[in-house]
Amino acid sequence: MKDEYKKATFAGGCFWCSEADFEKHKGVINIISGYSGGNKKNPSYEEVCSRKTGHRESIQVIYDPKKINYNNLLEIFWKHIDPTDDNGQFVDRGNQYTTAIFYHNKEQKKLAEKFKKELEESGKYSIPIVTEIIKFKNFYSAEDYHQDYHKKYPIEYKIYRKGSGRDHYIE
């Protein structure tokens, strides 16, 4: 990773969908699907799905801050999740699919908290926003077959995405 690039880590439910949503934006250099926030080192997909690791499906975004800033990434994140769901996202249920922003430094924390507060005060949601803002502690890449899933398996991905309810919610 070049020194001028930065990292952001988000848990937005299914990492296949999060990856696809972020990669469309200029300045996003790379996105890695993986697991973050738990205690098990190098967990497998099956272990994360067991709900015993504490990890959430997450993405790590490598970005060029000269082309896209952290606030832009926050905006993308909040637009593609249901921040009021405390048991997963859309069709995916369980803690491993709950939303979170894993901040890497004080500036990211400050911006994430500010964005969340503005969203809470906007009146857009009539129930509490439950998306957590958590200090980053780890990230483990998911298995290769999860990386760029929407590109490797476009038909399967489109079927999953449509059936998940995410796009209906976003609209």
Contact 166, 13 (CB under 8 A): yes
14 is a catalytic site residue: yes
> Residues 8, 11, 14, 59: which is the catalytic one?
14
CA torsion 121-97-87-115 (nearest 10°) is -10
Collapsing DSSP states into helix, strand and coil, what is residue 66? coil
Bridge pairing between strands 92-93 and 88-89: antiparallel
Instruction: Measure Cα distances from 73 to 10, 29, 58, 162 in Å.
Output: 10, 12, 14, 23
Active site residues: 14
